[in-house]
A and B are shown apart, each in its own frame.
Chain A
Amino acid sequence: MPARIALFVPCYVDQLYPQVARATLELLERHGLDVDFPASQTCCGQPMANAGAERDALETARSFVKAFAGYDCIVSPSGSCVYHVRHHYDVLEQTDAVRRVRGRVYELCQFLVEVLHVEDPGVAFPHRVGLHVGCHALRGLRLGTSSELGGRPGGPMRALLERVEGIELVGLDRPDECCGFGGVFSVTEAAVSARMGLDRVADHARHGAEVITSGDVSCLMHMEGVIRRQGLPLRVVHVAEILNGAAL
């Protein structure tokens, strides 16, 4: 059992989806962990870096490393931010602290399955659920097998959800098509982004999903924006909320 666990709450989750961060914290605590929330954390730097302004993200990335350097495991309800720290922090000088942080940051479900060896989440969620594994979690962190590579999709998120009592995971026409968020892409390429969101949500709706879940709040925020504008009978719920025993 890892000794010092830190909760990394991405900036927009902290500000706009605090219930996801709370569910993550409570879920980790339910598994008997003593979890710190380092107060000096802000953001991983991805919003600037993906927009091409990696240099404007340097200070944010350094402060991220400083906030989390002392921990054995850093857990986050966001595959995308974890991917950024793991794969794009090569822009920083590779000090011991940077290497430690990069090697010890985990997406929540990955942490539950690979580190805590959780098999049965011990919760119920009797609903028809569409699973959207974010692209950075799927193809960046390899938390599952993409449809391009073929075979069973797998991955820790699906493994945990499949054991949730009463849940019915719906099939999709395009199991892992991007939702179109893409950070600043959602604004700079608003037309393409919105259409991708519409198509992605429609796939879930067509297959009778009541709920779309994901390990990434950014994808859910995008799809929720589409769902509310379209007035569709769908909800978005983060996987941490389901695994923490949320009711609709």
Chain B
Amino acid sequence: MNPDSHAAAAASFLRDAERTGWHDRAIWFVRQKRDIAARSVPEWEELRGLASAIKRHTMSHLALYLEAFERSARRNGVTVHWARDAAEHNDLVLGILRARGARRLVKSKSMLTEECRLNPFLAGNGIEVVETDLGERIVQLAGEEPSHIVMPAIHRKKAEVAALFHRTLGTREDPDPAYLAEAARQHLRGLMASADAAMTGVNFAVAETGAMVVCTNEGNADLGAHLAPVHIASMGLDKVIPRTEHLGVFLRLLARSATGQPVTAYTSHFVRPRPGAELHVVIVDNGRTAQLARDDFRESLHCIRCGACLNTCPVYRRSGGHSYGVTVAGPIGAILAPGFDLAAHASLPFASTLCGSCADVCPVRIDIPRQLYRWRQIAVASGQVSWSKRVSMRLLGATLASASRYERAGRLLRRLLRRVPRLIGHPALDPWSRSRELPVAPEESFREWYRRERRTR
């Protein structure tokens, strides 16, 4: 598609300089809370190492643990479904809802269902879908996509939420967060009490027990699942972990990395259906096994969706989640999305300075910059970047491979910079010069000086 799509969307976000600063600071504040939380755990680095090792082990025995999870879940009375892709997932969910005559579905936050575009699919099939996570409900009412995997409405200011609620829920236009949260609570309670079915995501699926662990701060997953006669949990097949004891590693890392909380307010273990109710789990591939087969990118499946890499990313904070054009934005999204569709998302691996902050903040130590670098090589090799960029890199490579060509080119560059900086630095021709001055070129390069002064060749 458009190889510059992230850059263009980011430039549009950045046009509002004041808002960009607000967005950057709001998200940096979360990163700082994460730092404090991480430092409160002396064995933090040991936990990261353990988490990484558990994930690596699980991914190298994925079939074994998925089948073990399926057996355990079935033993508990859970109905287990497998979906190859988003379409199969959506059909399965619709089938379950139709079989029960369900009209209204309440959902807690699930990035997988966003990835599968479940909501528009269900709406098109006559199902009313109600997001019950506050942030998700805000973006749903606004007709937007989440801009962050943990804080879906982080791009919206209080006053904008007040205006939205005033318009959609009939509240008074009061930006007081307590008032707005209470209004959302009252609005959602009624919808949850009368829901025909509930959906949740799954943070961790424990193979040995069949438990599906869901972490929320609002208790909406529990309320939805415990009130409705049918609970459908959607999980990516990367969510399985071998044993309950491994939760002791991941749960200590997840909330601290995500928001700086020691643990989420609710950590719900859904094990078996209530008497008279149904519990389903849909295990979804949707490109994950293809990623597992890629040596360079397998590690991206270790992600526990804490969002820390988004919060720390200087590019994400200044370009907003929507600029990525995918459900999972930020650095992790930039290494996941090309695996789904390289042509559509070829600009994302380039939406980074490779500063490496994402790798250092990642609770499961995914080497994101290394994978960004690898995706860039693949994007260029498979012709997914512009012709002009490919040609200029080939020319640059040919120039720099020879000392004499390099020296001639260097002299020419310096002469041009000295004589016609305004031409080279014209904003229309040179994006650098839109907001930065070009360097002042010296008369003499270092090597010219060296030859003259030191008389060596």
A135-B445 in contact (CB<8A): no
Secondary structure of the B contact surface, majority rule: helix
Beyond the given A45-B400, A197-B435, A226-B435, please list 5 additional residue pairs across the A-B interface where CB-CB is below 8 A: A42-B403, A43-B406, A150-B35, A184-B389, A189-B10
Q: Indicate if B193 sits at the interface (CB-CB under 8 A).
A: no
Q: Number of contacting residues on B, CB 8 A?
A: 77
Q: Indicate if A97 sits at the interface (CB-CB under 8 A).
A: no
> Whole-angstrom distance from the CB of A123 to the nearest CB of chain B?
21
Q: Indicate if A95 sits at the interface (CB-CB under 8 A).
A: no
Q: A59-B401, A135-B355, A226-B436 are in contact. Are A18 and B442 (CB under 8 A)?
A: yes
A37-B450 in contact (CB<8A): yes
- Interface-side segment among B149-157, B211-219, B230-238, B310-318: B310-318
Chain A residues, Cβ within 8 Å of B426: none
Bound complex: CA A193 to CA B350 (Å): 12
Bound complex: CA A178 to CA B317 (Å): 12
Chain A residues, Cβ within 8 Å of B254: none
Q: Indicate if B340 sits at the interface (CB-CB under 8 A).
A: no
Closest to B405 in A: A42
A42-B401 in contact (CB<8A): yes
Q: Indicate if B139 sits at the interface (CB-CB under 8 A).
A: no
Q: Indicate if B393 sits at the interface (CB-CB under 8 A).
A: yes
B406-A192 in contact (CB<8A): no
A191-B360 in contact (CB<8A): no
Closest to A197 in B: B436
Q: Indicate if B159 sits at the interface (CB-CB under 8 A).
A: no
- Within A1-41, the residues touching B (CB, 8 Å) are 9, 11, 13-19, 21-22, 25, 37, 39-41
Chain A residues, Cβ within 8 Å of B410: 11, 14-15
Q: Indicate if A190 sits at the interface (CB-CB under 8 A).
A: yes
B439-A225 in contact (CB<8A): yes
Q: What are 10 A-B pairs at a CB distance below 8 A?
A: A15-B441, A48-B397, A52-B377, A56-B394, A63-B402, A148-B312, A148-B357, A185-B350, A224-B439, A228-B437
Q: A42-B403, A188-B7 are in contact. Are A195 and B439 (CB under 8 A)?
A: no
Closest to A24 in B: B446
**In the complex, the 9 A-B pairs of residues with the closest C-beta atoms, listed nearest first:** A182-B353, A225-B436, A56-B397, A52-B376, A190-B431, A139-B356, A148-B360, A52-B380, A59-B401
